[in-house]
Chains A and B, each alone.
Chain A
């Protein structure tokens, strides 16, 4: 996932490697279930890939298996939620947010059934399994559905907080998790997690990286490299909530830095970058340099998640280079 140089820099600045967010999700749901019998996980032959084996063993009556049937997964989850269950519907994001999109729209969001949809192994987590297993459309598809939080945690802290917040929100939520082990990006005490409130990981005013999910660590490392090699102060924001969207944090970054690079494990169409661009344009911050980093409008190259990230510049080196080129244009 990280080059030797990036890994060394991470160690130097004290970033600690944690678990995969997927594992944090499973452990958190299990913890919630231990004190609340209304917590239910619904799976589509996905208990293994969702790391929910231990949950199922500990609380077999709170795990509902529907087989390989994602439309039914979401419909059943909606029906359970309407009867008072705290439901986590868990399936690979590529299937959950495409095959079941109509169920998400009608049965969950439009009918206001408080299901937490958990898209696992999202983005290009499945790497070389190929395009059928990539979810590079899910932000775009789900941002266009009313009454649905869309949340993509960047580290274990955000992941646990997001699961806990979703469990008590009583509204439809989509949580997007990958399966790579992640660095912990900041101290837990510094900022309380809140849906719709971006997490400022590093202050700076020369440019801002606004990133989400598993790309955020790469932005944080790029910011450190920019500081060391070019004396630039880069702001790094983990924008975990695509909806609700922290317009204030985005506009502050645009106004105070004058240059914004968005980073996402998603096609550049309809994702984080476009959400930021719309906010900046509508606010009239016309002199802000702006660049989207993500997957372009193509089926990705073959390779692991790390290969794909590197190929499209979602890496410390790639983001360092993008930022440098952007600022040279000033």
Chain B
């Protein structure tokens, strides 16, 4: 289906509402980081990636590997929305013997790799992108990292190799919400200046508003530059869409109480009503 930007913005609101709903239901989850990356995943799965439940086993499909695996709730609601499984399956999220674990696992239809340890997605994607080049395949490979995750050294090993092999079929996105468990990324272990760092590592870099559907589409659709891997630094707000969670570190893996949950749902209803009004 071809969505307008407005329709995708509306979908993002619904997906965010689902994230909070399922985390509340499970009593566990990474709320803030799931809410910050929803627009990125929404654009990837609904506009960019050549991947669907029908072609998921095809060797020619595009690949998405979520390196920041802790934002699994965002991935699960986006995959359910894309038809990989029924969203009601998430009633078992984090339950005894459920496939829906607190980090991505291939037991869930649509998940490419088991992730959760940080600094793993980019190296794997370098390998898959390299295989695509070796076999002259057209598929593209995407991964999503957190800005706090960049302290893992394996990312920089992979960064060097992606540029060395000129992997312009690889796009990495940083969900740059500036917060990690212990506080501001800038205070815990400053990863800036990101643009200069990635350019110095040989990547084509673009920094955008990570909640701007049009800007995400533009940045993710094609390689930013032939012969170089693409890095999209997406400036985002942790907890986006829930007023009292936005840019507040404690919601990294916070679960709303009943009162907070009701307030969050009310907020989504109001935002959705406003969006529907604007679209009609």
Interface residues of A (CB under 8 A from B): 40, 61, 64, 66-67, 69, 71-72, 74-85, 102-103, 106-107, 110-113
Contacts and interface: CB of A to CB of B under 8 A. Distances in A.
Contacts of A76: 123-124, 126-127, 130, 158, 161
17 contacts: A40-B134, A61-B134, A66-B161, A72-B123, A75-B124, A77-B127, A79-B125, A82-B124, A82-B128, A83-B132, A84-B131, A106-B115, A107-B113, A107-B123, A110-B114, A111-B113, A111-B114
Given A71-B119, A72-B154, A107-B113, A80 B130 contact: yes
Nearest to B152: A71
Most A-side CB within 10 Å, residue of B125, B131, B160, B164: B131
A61 to B, nearest CB: 7
A111 B128 CA distance: 14
B127 A103 contact: no
Contacts of A85: 131, 134
B59 A79 contact: no
Contacts of A74: 123
A111 B132 CA distance: 20
Given A69-B160, A85-B134, 18 more contacts: A40-B134, A67-B161, A71-B157, A72-B123, A72-B126, A75-B123, A75-B158, A76-B158, A76-B161, A77-B127, A78-B123, A79-B127, A80-B130, A80-B131, A102-B117, A102-B120, A106-B114, A110-B114
A111 B130 contact: no
B116 interface: yes
Most B-side CB within 10 Å, residue of A75, A77, A103: A75
Contacts of A102: 117, 120
Contacts of B134: 40, 61, 85
Interface string B98-131: 0000000010000011111101101111111111
Interface residues of B, number: 30
A32 B154 CA distance: 30
B6 interface: no
Contact of B161 (A69, A81, A110): A69
Given A83-B131, A103-B123, A72 B114 contact: no
Contact of B157 (A61, A69, A81, A82): A69
Contacts of B115: 106
B131 A72 contact: no
A103 to B, nearest CB: 7
Nearest to A75: B123
A102 B113 CA distance: 14
A81 B134 CA distance: 13
Interface in B30-81: 59
B124 A78 contact: yes
B154 A71 contact: yes
A71 B120 CA distance: 9
Nearest to A115: B127
Contact of A83 (B122, B127, B161): B127
A113 B113 CA distance: 9
Given A64-B130, A103-B120, A112-B106, A72 B158 contact: yes
B112 A82 contact: yes
A289 to B, nearest CB: 43
Contact of A106 (B120, B131, B132): B120
Given A83-B59, A110-B114, A72 B128 contact: no
